[in-house]
Chains A and B, each alone.
Chain A
């Protein structure tokens, strides 16, 4: 499919109808969805209705929005009316949200066409989509490998040309890691830039919604649409959506870029080599390179695997069989809740609920959750110190290219280590972007990561654009 930008231009100019664009998207979904297990639900009828409405408005000469007629895939932890929302969990099977997430409303307002809901690790807990209750998603670039996770379905939808862009959510790397493994741009925005209203929470203080696209400009366009203050989210930043597309070609001349050993060491050689080539490109483009060590980042993983499960243990308490979703009947209400949760949640979700419950328990709170909060503060301080020296940070997104199914499922710790480079940005609430940069083993894409201080998205896109051009995608 064409890019987001080109598709919207074609529809706005009448060079293509929104319906014809949608039919191409639906045909691509039909062609490979059974094989790849990308979409859990495809809303053909709703999408056609929306596309027809766009075409009628174009015919009347109306302004149809910046994403006019662009099909979009939504991670299935985003609420949307009239279609199921499952979080890839049996516990929500059959539930339909009576309201749409703020991001969905904003996409519709901008003319985008939501075509369906994509697979994820159950409740966004995982790095491979292998934790989905509805089976894993396959990486379209190599079906023996995972697409990454937890937004693996959204990444695969774009990589398999099913939609020009998708939305995911990133709690510890869940947008950037699958973007890297599928050869896409993936953005984790500044915490509070995008409203979380209607995103089914995994870890509320870490979750952010962001786009997955094939080009940097497309990512900037999508983020401009979904960002900006929302009165329904108390943690939403007060400012309106920033101007991003206009700054995509600003370049990096005169910028100081910190190359962080702690976001590179431990990665496969081919990944390290890709980061080093990226350093050369940025230097060539006029950036000053500074070698930095931020050892606090190495503590992030441990802190994250206490904070995120702690919040999740509370966020997921509401799935108790009383009001909606699965109910497994039993003798009394307590037994019913236990039976429902036992049957409805998968292994990884249960593991994290137990971890989090334990971390918050009286007598353990100080040693675990309390300690993790201190590490989080250390991480935030470390970023602040780094940004006193440099404008941006550069590192790897993931330690390796896409891995094979089953290679990490037996060892949760090995799986958790997939997120080691992405987690620090979630802990600090600052933005980061993953950009495909070169290929490694079996020709699979490698992702590098640019990180910046709060609300520095425009700068990140400009840096990413420099790398994109150098990687052969002008």
Chain B
């Protein structure tokens, strides 16, 4: 979306990522998504009187890894208490970092060639999760509220960018690249739909070369699509307001995915007073140089480097492949693709099965070895498996493990005799004379119709390319 005339949007993002530690930030409770409510809790993460926090060393390492990948300076830091009352925050304060974050400064270079500065990337604890039932459905005016403290005390890193982003597309690129980095560092699984990465967007608009306008903060955007839509809506709203002679009020706004609009959550008359002060129950966090070096040396290649390698391997990738390529890089699936290319498989196939099938079940990616991936694709490319069958084999291995040849056999996948295909195609042509004549007249879209019909009759055993060849032969 473009803004009218000479308007420009100015965007900064605050990305919260849950760290993939085994235990919570200050206690030994499991850091796990999806457990029954209030089962992963103890006196510390429930903030019971007398309990004390003990810092999780692994959370510190992951925070340092993120900082290293973002070219930040790892610094001696302290923890502060951010004080405010909220029922899902058991101590009614959040342990966070304030004036001395563990990662100060830094930048992120995006694939489009732009650079976004990083102000800080600091450690803090997550809150519990409230569910408001009945009535207004919000905290005030609901019939009742339920709180699940399983998430309370889960370690978070908040990554704050500078106000360097100038379009919703750039915001998306930044968020996707950052997600790739978080996955590459092992800090996060990057699953936005489960809330393990949440984004707040600070949006303002100005006419070119004018000073920064008043900003609004849109809270809790939990998909890249929402991020783009929310920023575009908000920037357009502010431009419209200003062009009518109005003023933008500094406030926190809520994004409604269904309405496709932002609305006022609370007005910021002045900065919230969180009464920050040093957390007296924790000591200063001063990672020594050797520890920093160990973390930095242990980092795997970041997305930018892997993108360069894969792009080179693909030669000059066709524009149609670029989306799949980005998914593969973001999610760290390039090893599968490169192995497939090494085995002489076609680039679009090597990319597509990773970007679709593996990406859809990322949590089980460990079940699928690179060798099994290559073997499955080789069976597909040679025609031993149809595309549908190959996908089904991959889905099965991801879900339950196993080896492709035996899974294909156990599912009864056999190559369709080419003679049988000819007969099926002939029958279909007879039964669908209108579609056939349109196809023969050059409407290529109808090929998909016939392929679909063949797949239905063969329960997916046919090879799409062979169907087209059979159709062509009769044209």
Contact = CB atoms under 8 A, between A and B. Distances in A.
B319 interface: no
B421 to A, nearest CB: 66
Given A204-B281, A317-B85, A79 B52 contact: no
B262 to A, nearest CB: 25
A448 B53 CA distance: 36
A361 B273 CA distance: 7
A455 B273 CA distance: 39
B46 to A, nearest CB: 7
A351 interface: no
A234 B283 contact: yes
Given A310-B277, A318-B47, A323 B90 contact: yes
A313 B277 CA distance: 11
B281 A235 contact: yes
A38 B448 CA distance: 88
Interface string A363-399: 0010001000000000000000000000000000000
Interface string A332-376: 111001000000000000000000010011100100010000000
Nearest to B139: A333
A362 B271 contact: yes
B49 A79 contact: yes
A77 B50 CA distance: 8
A314 B50 contact: no
B263 interface: no
A98 interface: yes
Given A317-B85, A317-B91, A317-B93, A362 B273 contact: yes
A234 B87 contact: no
Contacts of B73: none
Nearest to B49: A200
Interface stretch (B115-123, B140-148, B225-233, B397-405): B140-148
Interface stretch (A191-199, A210-218, A268-276): A191-199
**Interface size of B as a range:** 20 to 34
Given A200-B49, A324-B48, A317 B273 contact: no
A320 B280 CA distance: 21
Interface string B352-380: 00000000000000000000000000000
Contact of A234 (B54, B85, B92): B54
Interface string A15-53: 000000000000000000000000000000000000000
Interface in B253-296: 271, 273, 275-277, 280-283
B3 to A, nearest CB: 35
Contact of B280 (A231, A311, A319): A311
Contact of A318 (B49, B53, B277, B281): B49
A97 B48 CA distance: 8
A314 B93 contact: yes
B150 to A, nearest CB: 14
B54 A322 contact: no
Contacts of B48: 97-99, 324
A352 to B, nearest CB: 15
A278 interface: no
Contact of A322 (B87, B141, B273, B282): B87
Interface string A94-126: 010111010000000000000000000000000
A205 interface: yes
B43 interface: yes
A451 interface: no
A97 B54 contact: no
Given A196-B52, A231-B54, A317-B92, A334 B85 contact: yes
A360 B43 contact: no
A332 B51 CA distance: 28
A203 B87 CA distance: 23
Interchain residue pairs A-B with the least CB separation, the first 8: A317-B92, A205-B280, A360-B275, A204-B280, A200-B49, A198-B50, A79-B50, A362-B273
8 contacts: A197-B51, A197-B52, A313-B83, A319-B49, A333-B87, A357-B275, A361-B273, A362-B275
Given A234-B283, A311-B280, A365-B277, 4 more contacts: A97-B48, A314-B275, A332-B141, A334-B85
